Structure 1
Amino acid sequence: MTDLVRNFAKGCRGLVPTMDAALVPWSEEEQHDNWERVASVLFMTLVSEPCEYAAVGEDGLSLISTVPYGWDVPPVDCNAYLAATAGHDVPMRVVRLSSSQQPFDQAIITSSSGTERISLSDASFKFVFAPANGDGRVVEHVDLTL
């Protein structure tokens, strides 16, 4: 999982020159809906879909709905999310990537106790699936070689 998230961050960083050339703001101070749409699709393709498949297999995909990238408040029908641990006992939901020393080197995480930023290099990531039937699971590794 951690490799998937770091690859997603690398993909976002790789788009910075293209976004700059197209005058599409990507930095936190300036980003708008244009960047969020791009980041959402990358997140879905590089993180959510592989995690959903690892969690439930092809036959269970209709049972899983992952919180979309960038949503501060998750939709009520979502039952899965990307989580991170970095100095926390309990994984906290990842909202979006943010920037500190370089573009997209941090994640914004949230829980009932608040929101904070963590370094991607210090974090480990998990995918949490909590269906209504109580048969939840946590995915810590996704094998992309299948």
Structure 2
Amino acid sequence: MATRKHHESLPDLRAAAKLGTFAERLHYLRKIYHGMNQNELALELGVSQSTIANYEMGNRKVSPSAQIVSRLAVFFGVNSDWLINGTLPILPEKTFVPPEVAAREALFKPLTQKETAALIALNGKQRKELTAQIKSYLKNV
């Protein structure tokens, strides 16, 4: 749901190669590389803003699951091995956009900033209800 900048306008990733931890790499991708806030990324992943904050602070008690790491790598268009361990190359050899991600991006692309802000402000129950409605809609498309 969060809007990402087009890759043509993104800064160079060479500076990111020197980042030493998962927390630093995630913060760089979210804030510096894509200009997103923690709430936007949390909404994209279906987690809380505090979870993103804990990931970025390197809180060892809150580490992302393999599924979250995979979703982060796909969302940001980076190699999951680099995201976790700092192992080069940063970019995956082949970019694959799962059909559900492409469908979601196509569905939410025309939203205004006000509409996006309203989605970010939803509480957990409201998000679940909206998710169920969207899934129902996509099954009928």
Alignment TM-score, normalising by the size of structure 1 = 0.33
Alignment TM-score, normalising by the size of structure 2 = 0.33
Whichever structure has more helix as a proportion of its residues is 2
Whichever structure has more strand as a proportion of its residues is 1
